[in-house]
Amino acid sequence: MADRKAELAGKVALVTGAGRGIGRAISICLAKEGAQMVLTGRNDVALEETAQLITAAGGLSPLVCHVDLLDLPTIKAAVKVAEEKFGHIDVLVNNSGITGKTVPMWELKENEWDETIDTNLKGPFLLTREVIPSMIKRNYGSIIFIGSVTGKRPFMNKTAYAASKLGLVGMMRTLALELGTHGVRVNLISPGFVAGPRLDGVIELVAESEKTSFETAHAKMREMIPTGKFVSPENIAEGVLFLASERSAGITGDDLNISGGLVMY
């Protein structure tokens, strides 16, 4: 750990989907800045791996909680355990989400729509609702949603995903208005194309649908980005750190694009 004062020393941060990808990068980043981490998700093995990476980097030993965002009892149990163990939750990062089925809307089954909307929108609602009361009581907190540029810029065959991510923007802005006088800030990050296995899977689907190679589809997607580069999970994590820390004390109700310029509004 650095000799300078850690930005999140004394703070408790709960991250959903902390077992891999963006969630893991966020958890490690916040832990390196002194946060006591509460790692949640459905993949217990992956969560333990993240916990080991945090302790190996000199961070505080995390609390690992199995949470299914479609199962309210697991949400309530995790929040209760975290608050009993650490006294409070200062930072909530709603990161978990699924991309859902990639088909035209008229081919989307009702259960496929429901799964995407429930996971990406209802789940964060249920968890945030559990955390808010203690933040109001302490007159302090930072709630951060991980959205997507897909909520702003349409992409073919992603109706449910786009609807869920744009819905998060509406939830975030309303909460920011409601919680402003209670000392709780609420913001959202809209990532662009984030390098990693999930994006590789998307590129493979694009290549298959366009009957081209992975390399060609990869290059075509990069050409859409002004910087010519995919963003990294660590880029997103740094944005979360900013919104979680006192550096962003004057910011609430904001939607921060981290997309290499893919979206500029």
* Mean pLDDT, range 193-210, rounded to an integer: 88
**Residue 102 shares a structural domain with residue 150:** yes
In 75-125, the DSSP E strands lie at 91-94
pLDDT at 3: 58
Does residue 116 have a pLDDT over 80? yes
**Residue 146 shares a structural domain with residue 207:** no
d(CA 77, CA 91) in angstroms, rounded, equals 18
Residue 64 counted as domain residue: yes
**Residue 149 shares a structural domain with residue 222:** no
**Residue 63 shares a structural domain with residue 163:** yes
Catalytic positions, please? 161
Does residue 42 have a pLDDT over 70? yes
**Residue 73 shares a structural domain with residue 149:** yes
**SS3 assignment, position 251:** coil
Residues 6+ apart with CB under 8 A from 244: 8, 11, 13, 30, 35, 91, 93, 142, 144
For residue range 53-76, what is the model confidence (pLDDT) as tens digits?
999 999 999 999 999 999 999 999
For residue range 139-159, what is the model confidence (pLDDT) as tens digits?
999 999 999 999 999 888 899
**Residue 249 shares a structural domain with residue 201:** no
**Residue 223 shares a structural domain with residue 242:** no
Does residue 1 have a pLDDT over 80? no
pTM above 0.85, yes or no: yes
Does residue 2 have a pLDDT over 70? no
**Residue 49 shares a structural domain with residue 126:** yes
Residue 264 counted as domain residue: no
Owning domain of residue 18: 12-194+232-258
d(CA 50, CA 27) in angstroms, rounded, equals 8
Residue 2 counted as domain residue: no
**Residue 166 shares a structural domain with residue 112:** yes
How much is the mean pLDDT over the chain? Answer: 95
